[in-house]
Amino acid sequence: MRSRYDWVIWTFFWGGLALTALFVGGPVLNAIWLSLHQASSFIAEPKFVGLGNYARVVQEPEFWSAMANGLIYALSAIVLQVVIGIAFAMVLNQPFFGQRLVRGLATLPYLLPTVVVALTFQWLADGSVGLLTVIARDLGLGTIPWFEQPATARASVILASVWLWTPFVTICVLAGLQSIPPALYEAAKVDGAGPVSIFFHVTLPQLKPVLTVVVLLRAIWMFNKFDVIWLLTKGGPLGATEHLPILAYKRAFSLFDVGGGAAVATVSFLILMAAVSTYLWMFPLEEKR
């Protein structure tokens, strides 16, 4: 029997599909089309070069170092965000005085615009007068070269990303923790399980659906993350924090190589598609019946 609300459902369905095609499919197809052409700017007449741009960019050492940097950045940031996010969520799930206030404060970094966070972090880590620099110096750790060395610059952008986006994981996991039936914990305790055992055999399995989605979203966002790295290091020093999105941007908007930039962006998109497909195959969002 047809519901009287069928037209609403179909309107939203086709509307959503049309918007997705326009705002997601359109740019993707345009990027792929551009990647098959050579053009020095977005107003230049593109010249068809087939797969020439792909052949060119994958031969350059910058491409492979950007790929490695992107993987290091994304994997490190995701692991730290998830581990710290779960830990915070478990603390915030316990009853204590001021719990609501602390829960609110814990989400604060996520509410701030990235540019504010990046500029704040830059000042905190300023080599001369930054608060973190001064504290480290007072603690006898010497002057920490936050952005001065390739390794520390990598660590610094990862640290900034973890600080910025861990609250997202915390909020999601906290919601997941609150949906776990208390009876499961009581039963585990009756069976003599300790806190560690309860965590690994009750909490974690119950959080699996939430974590599957959280890790997936974080992976997509971190692999494509542009703003925080660009604002903090612009990919330097010595290309240590230059990943594929920054390389694509630089090629298209600075190096007069729109086709090369589009090729890098398309390769990045394909890698992410493959990774997401593999992930969803390994961890399906719906339990098989």
Partner 1 sequence: MTKRFQGPSRRTLLTTGAGIAAAAAFPMPAVHAQTKELRFLNGEPAVDSVRALRVAAAQYEKEKGIKVTIDTVPSGDAYTRTVAAIKGGRPYDISTLIFVAHVLTLANEGQLTPITDLVNKHKWGKRILFPVNGQHYWYMYDYNLCWLFYRKDLYEANKLEQPKTWAQLLENCRKLSGSEGGNQRFGMATPVGNNDATNWMSIGYMWAEGVSLFDDSWKNIFASDENKKRTAAYLDFFGEMYKTMPPGMTQASFGQITAAYSSGQAAHAPYAGRLIEILEQRAPKLADSYGMMPYPDSSGKGAAVNHGYDGWVVGKTPMAEEAVKFLEWFSDAHYINFLHSAPLHFQPPRLDIYDDPRWRAHPLIEKHAGAVKTMQGFLDDPNITIRSIDTEGPGPDLRPAKVFESWVFPEMLQNKVLKNMPSQACVEEAVAKMNRVIAG
- Site residues (CB under 8 A) for partner 1? 4, 7-8, 40-45, 56, 60, 122, 126-128, 130, 133, 143, 145, 147-150, 153, 233-239, 250, 253-257, 260
Torsion from C-alpha of 161, 165, 170, 176, nearest 10 degrees: -120
Q: How far is the CB of 25 from partner 1 (least distance, A)?
A: 19
In the bound state with partner 1, the residue whose beta carbon lies nearer, of 7 and 200, is 7
**Backbone torsion region of residue 130, taken as left when φ is above 0, otherwise alpha when ψ lies between -120 and 50, otherwise beta:** beta
Q: How far is the CB of 160 from partner 1 (least distance, A)?
A: 13
How far apart CA 69 and CA 59 sit, in angstroms, is 17
In the bound state with partner 1, the residue whose beta carbon lies nearer, of 120 and 122, is 122
Q: How many CB atoms lie within 10 A of CB 52?
A: 17
Half-sphere exposure of 188 (CA within 13 A, CB side): 17
Q: How far is the CB of 129 from partner 1 (least distance, A)?
A: 9
In the bound state with partner 1, the residue whose beta carbon lies nearer, of 12 and 200, is 12
Residue with tokens 């609501």: 100
Q: Smallest Cα–Cα separation from 240: which of 117, 111, 70? A: 70
The vertex-212 CA angle with 275 and 197, nearest 5°, equals 130
In the bound state with partner 1, the residue whose beta carbon lies nearer, of 94 and 128, is 128
In the bound state with partner 1, the residue whose beta carbon lies nearer, of 153 and 244, is 153
Q: How far is the CB of 47 from partner 1 (least distance, A)?
A: 13
**Residues pairing with 149 in the sheet:** none
In the bound state with partner 1, the residue whose beta carbon lies nearer, of 176 and 235, is 235
Spatial contact of 36 and 121, defined as CB atoms under 8 Å apart: no
Q: How far is the CB of 168 from partner 1 (least distance, A)?
A: 27
Residue 97 three-state SS? coil
Q: How far is the CB of 58 from partner 1 (least distance, A)?
A: 13
